[in-house]
Structure 1
Amino acid sequence: MSQIIHSPSNLISDYVEIAGAGAALTNSGLLTLLSLFILRKYSHSFCPLTIPIVMMLSGFSFFGKNLANSAPILLGSLLYLHHKPAARQESLVMGLLSTCLSPMVSLIYLAPSQFLLQNKFIALVAGLVIGYISIPVFHYLKAHTKEMNLYNMGFSAGCIGFIGNFATRNLLNIRILPHRLNAAHSSALLIFLLILFTAPLMYALYVLKFDKALHKGVRLSLLKLVRFSIYGLIGLMVPLILQVPLNGLLVGTLLTFAGFSMYNFGFRYYFFPACGVLLSSLFIFHDVTSTTTIVILFFAATLSPFSRKYGLLTGILSGAIFAMISRHAHVLTAGINLYNCGFSGGVTVLLLDFLRHLLFRHALLKRTCSAAYQKLILSEQKILWQLSRCKDWIKQRLFPLNYE
């Protein structure tokens, strides 16, 4: 834990590489318990978004977040919510997500200085400011992306990270170094993920099968647990099939992917941005079996709302653009923003929405494109209907339960 706390924690600081699997799991567990304590302390009403955010916090604790660099940011968010009590229930979980900028705190307090407490004090103030402004910036940018980006806090943090990158590089003269990933603990991490994804599945199926007097809300919650486990096991199959060893980055990515499946991002809407990521990786970057590609592939789920609104072909295009931006987004924030894919998703949504408005300014192009677009949407709806029928048939065969 001491090695984790004294690491810069910028992307990609694999805590499994830095301190071993045991310390990485301990760090993730402590941060998860801390987040649950804060939610209970402020009487948060658990909603469908709560568990995905807790899982996201747990996942990123494998490669960037620790108790030391997250505490000032959490305190800043709580100070903001103390002054804005009306928005507390809605914004408390967003305050947890603002810890995505925690590497900035680590980079500052670990930087050498002439005075003993100078950088520690600057790091504390920076963390408080980041936590205080992250929530209002999130709500402002969320309106501009029209909720088409699932990981909106990553987009907000990327915008704040521009300033942080400038400050750490030019004002404090801090140089950020890259890190390596560690595949030596792949077997231990595989066992951990199998237990994590299998246990909720077995428990939920057991209760659904033998308890006939379940409340509707409890039944829906248990079905979300089944969904979490299935998406987690499907995600785990990808690195196993591609023979990519597990590391802290992949574990965090899989936890986030499985967690947000409970938020119903919709596999059929995620599938087409994922296809765009694979196509760009295959034909542009010629890199399909790497950790970077797998991470971008899973985080393409951020474009599911965009694909749902504008169609499947647009989803494939957005996935390809998203992959290209994600591979270069770290240049802008220098690893300070842990949610780089969320930032890339926001940029992708704004870029494509701008092109749509630019195209529709011309009356002739608007009429022509609108007619072609309507035909395309009708064709896509037929495809989705067929896919939905196949999914329902498979679900009934595998899990013959009452889903009403």
Structure 2
Amino acid sequence: MILNKIDYFVSFKPDSQKIKYGFFWSIVLTFGLLAFLFNTPQEILNGQIAILLSPSNLVTDYFAVSNVGATLFNSALLTAHAIVIVKLTKAQINGAIIASVLTVAAFSFFGKNLYNSMPIVLGAFAYAWVTRMPSEKSLLAALFGTALGPLVSEISFNLDLSLIQGVLYGYIAGFIAGFLIPPIANHVVDFTKGFSVYNVGFTCGIIGTLFISIIRSLGKEVEPVSILSSGNNLPFTVIFLVIYTMMLLIGLFLNSWSFKGYTELLKHTGQLSTDFLKTNGFNVTLINMALLGFISLGYVHLHGGELNGPVIGGILTVVGFGAFGKHIKNVIPILMGVTLMGYINDYDMSSTGVITAGLFGTTIAPIAGRYGPWIGMLAGAFHLSIVSNTDNLHGGINLYNNGFSGGFVAAIMIPLLVAFHYHKEKRKLLREGVDPAEEIECNN
């Protein structure tokens, strides 16, 4: 028995798939158990029914629609569902998959549920089947694509259709949307040049705008809503401080109780696709995720915000992408830029809209990673201005509205930054009087 335990620790590998699956299931277990600390089983059941029947478009806080326990249980259920999907595709867990699973967990606090997610997942995998691609090629589209879950719920429960018609049309629309996501997402990355890490968010914004345009042309109106809760700051501050402290300690333990390798991680710009598990290992990535969790939580408290469903979703999303492109060096300038623009325009900095614009706005963190903190702050400022006006395009049925807006920010800024950098280098070459052959090589 003792020898077996010694052999286990000798052969222990921090980057093993079992460790990563263990990390996922610990999230499910934590949220699932916490649910019953807040509410009774009957309250959770009633809350789940309310969540499943909610139109769920932006911004529908499940804390307000149901209760805290039901929302936590919904997140645990959707996270487990995502893990099972990953397992069925036999995909190797990498940074992108960690980001996708935690994003599912995050948006299960406001907008995603098992009912409205299923047809989108089926549609994405149907595309893989039709095109005879391995199912794992559509995995990220299936998980991230559940951002369009409100499309299914809105058609099912909010367009004055009979229940049978609503369910049928809702599932058909969700299936079609899921089918469209993989091919469009593959091309959208060229539009943003990988400087917005929520690539599927921009894709879903396009598809969502298409569907809402069709629905509006039929005389139906779909508008964003604002259903928010308050009063949960104390318990969730404690909960997340404990969770991120545990993540940090486990990361340090796996990394021989040191931050060795973290400086190397900070050197990455974060531009798609930057997989920190591949470049720096799970141990260092876990440390990065924990630090981002502390920063995100601190950002909310700095502005006096509420830890409601959308804000908690924002924090968890930042943490998830701590495995896939985001780190403290490229995230902080974006947060500062959003804050600066908010104060300049005299916004209510404690409002959920502004705080989530900061948290989710870190989708454009690679701009700060590539072009420095000042440009990153400028990008964050632009993002706050743009995100305030894009939700009307898709009627709130794209939960990744910041991913949609971030795509526009990247698409506008990157060509200008590239051109400026190119002409700056040209002027530098002219001043230095380099050899013509070297100038040709540089321009190529």
Give the TM interval when normalised to the shorter protein: 0.7 to 0.9
Aligned partner letter, 2:305: V
Equivalent of 2:183 in 133, 136, 145: 136
Q: Conserved in 2, the CA contact under 8 Å of 1:16 and 1:185?
A: no
Q: Conserved in 2, the CA contact under 8 Å of 1:64 and 1:338?
A: yes
Aligned residue runs from structure 1 range 258-277, under 5 A: 258-277=319-338
Distance 1:107 1:189, change over 3 A: same
Distance 1:260 1:366, change over 3 A: closer
- Farther off after superposition, 300-309 or 333-342: 300-309
Equivalent of 1:246 in 280, 302, 307: 307
Query: How far apart in 2 are the matches of 1:144 and 1:277?
Result: 23
Check if 1:279 corresponds to 2:327: no
Gaps of 5+ in 1: 376-404
Q: Please give the per-residue CA displacement for 1:283-332, whole angstroms capped at 9, x wherever unaligned.
A: 12433232222211122321122233344433222221111001111121
Q: Percent identity?
A: 30
TM-score, normalised to structure 2, is 0.76
Equivalent of 1:255 in 316, 327, 334: 316
Q: Which contiguous aligned blocks of 4+ residues in structure 1 show a shift greater than 6 angstroms?
A: 216-219, 372-375
Aligned partner letter, 2:146: T
Equivalent residue number for residue 340 of structure 1: 401
Equivalent residue number for residue 400 of structure 1: none
Query: How far apart in 2 are the matches of 1:101 and 1:321?
Result: 25
Q: Conserved in 2, the CA contact under 8 Å of 1:81 and 1:92?
A: no
Equivalent residue number for residue 39 of structure 1: 86
Aligned residue runs from structure 1 range 163-312, under 5 A: 163-171=210-218, 173-176=220-223, 178-209=225-256, 220-312=281-373
Equivalent residue number for residue 318 of structure 1: 379
- Displacement of 1:103 after TM fit? 0.4
Query: How far apart in 2 are the matches of 1:195 and 1:26?
Result: 19
Distance 1:334 1:219, change over 3 A: closer
Equivalent residue number for residue 64 of structure 2: 17
Gaps of 5+ in 2: 1-47, 259-276, 432-444
Q: Conserved in 2, the CA contact under 8 Å of 1:12 and 1:179?
A: yes
Distance 1:87 1:349, change over 3 A: farther
Task: Name the count of aligned residue pairs.
Answer: 366
Aligned residue runs from structure 1 range 61-76, under 5 A: 61-76=108-123
Structure number with higher relative contact order (C-alpha < 8 Å, ≥ 6 residues apart)? 1
Q: SS state of the match for residue 150, structure 1? A: coil
- Farther off after superposition, 86-95 or 321-330: 86-95
- Displacement of 1:150 after TM fit? 1.0
Q: Please give the per-residue CA displacement for 1:198-241, whole angstroms capped at 9, x wherever unaligned.
A: 22223333444489xxxx98993122222211211221122223
TM-score, normalised to structure 1, is 0.83
Aligned residue runs from structure 1 range 358-369, under 5 A: 367=423
Distance 1:242 1:318, change over 3 A: closer
Q: SS state of the match for residue 62, structure 1? A: coil
Distance 1:271 1:204, change over 3 A: closer
Distance 1:227 1:338, change over 3 A: same
Distance 1:75 1:184, change over 3 A: same
Check if 1:101 corresponds to 2:148: yes
Equivalent of 1:7 in 40, 54, 65: 54
Distance 1:246 1:141, change over 3 A: same
Query: How far apart in 1 are the matches of 2:80 and 2:367?
Result: 33
Q: Conserved in 1, the CA contact under 8 Å of 2:58 and 2:224?
A: no
Equivalent residue number for residue 83 of structure 1: 130
Distance 1:371 1:312, change over 3 A: farther
Q: Please give the per-residue CA displacement for 1:182-208, whole angstroms capped at 9, x wherever unaligned.
A: 113333333332332222223333444
Q: SS state of the match for residue 234, structure 1? A: helix
